[in-house]
Chain A
Amino acid sequence: MSRSALVDRPIDPASLVAEVSARDRGAVSLFLGTVRDTNEGREVEGIDYTAYASMAEAELARIVAEAREKFGVTALVVEHRIGTLTLGDISVGIAAAHAHRAAALDSVRYVIEEIKKRVPIWKLEHYTDKTRSWVDPTAQHVEAST
């Protein structure tokens, strides 16, 4: 089984684990991305996540299909949250389960790395000095007008 979604509510890691778990799956792997309190030396107090929602959902589904094809993983679910998140909130949750560990671990790693390369989701970081900027992993930050 597999499922992927953009969500605008808190991500519940226990429900992701429950969703992929089964008696014949002896390995469960879980990755959570959370909002960190600093980025490039600046103190962060929150992040607005926005997306090109229809393409982000399509791209997530393609990544999950690729992971299933590459690693043969039995069960894989991904949720990425959008909206305003505060420190410690979970922005992305990925759970995989398989009979043995390699497919479960490898597929989770693959999904998060591909999300970072190609899913159209953006972060507008809010800093403690009340400034904001768009996170650009490829270059310098662009000051936001909002």
Chain B
Amino acid sequence: MSTAERSVAARTAPDRAALTRRVRDVGVYVAVGALLLFNAVFTDNFLELANLRTQLVQVAPVVIVALGIALVIGSEGIDLSVGSVMALAAAVLPLYLGFGLWPAVAMALLAGAAAGVLNGTLVAVVGLQPIVATLALLVAGRGLALVIADGQLKQIRNPDLLALGTDELLGLPVVAWVAVVLAVLIGFTVHRTTYGRQLVAIGGNRAAAQLAGLPVRRVLVVTYVLSGVFAALAGVLATARLTASDPSAIGNLIELSAITAVVVGGTPLSGGRVRVLGTVAGALLMQLLRATLIKHDLPDSTAQMVQAVIILIAVYVAQQRRTR
């Protein structure tokens, strides 16, 4: 009796739906605003430039990784390998620093792109589930990085690379600028390019997209490549800030922070929608939340539990929409 069931599913309880839609659409911004306000009043020295700068520098890699993952999630996929790809980039980087900063960065990003091609091919051509395909690289990627780096932490002495981690432009750290520029670029890509709209359509209804002749495989592979390149870039920037290439520690568990940022930012895990600004706000929210709790002397474990609550709320709101 599929007809009846379907028409039931289409029926909406307008008030409830409108409310959850509203929470999903503006909730994260309101929360960020409220946290800033709270800290302005109750936290000493919070609004000082030094503190804000620290917050931005810390959140930037998460934002960059999350932007890539937001695209993947929009395609109804997931990318768990980003942390390992960061490690891979960090391991590749020092090998080519002898040729100068930019060739080394290019090689690191190329490693990220290769990882993306592998992920994308496993998902789009072989047909593996994204969580399994990228889990493979999550495990193998860091192993490979450690092999490349010989298991060693390498000090970085290249002044150009170190400058990436410490320099500022118009009062903002370079790392934060990179995140801002990428957010703008990805926003434009998602909303205004053929690729971006096709990505959203594929995530929204893959069978329909296929029948409409969309280049489904190509779009999916490009998406995983972007995610890989962004992760590699985050790896380069994190290495610059650490002043050392440390493939065993860099990017550990960042996939979870990034996915959290995406989900809290209102991008549904079921795909078909990418919220770029929301993702940035989601990352900021989690960062501010943690900073706030720590500054008020709450232990890290409490901070983690509060984060968990926020994630549950975000997923609940997303779920409401889907089962409606």
A binds B: no
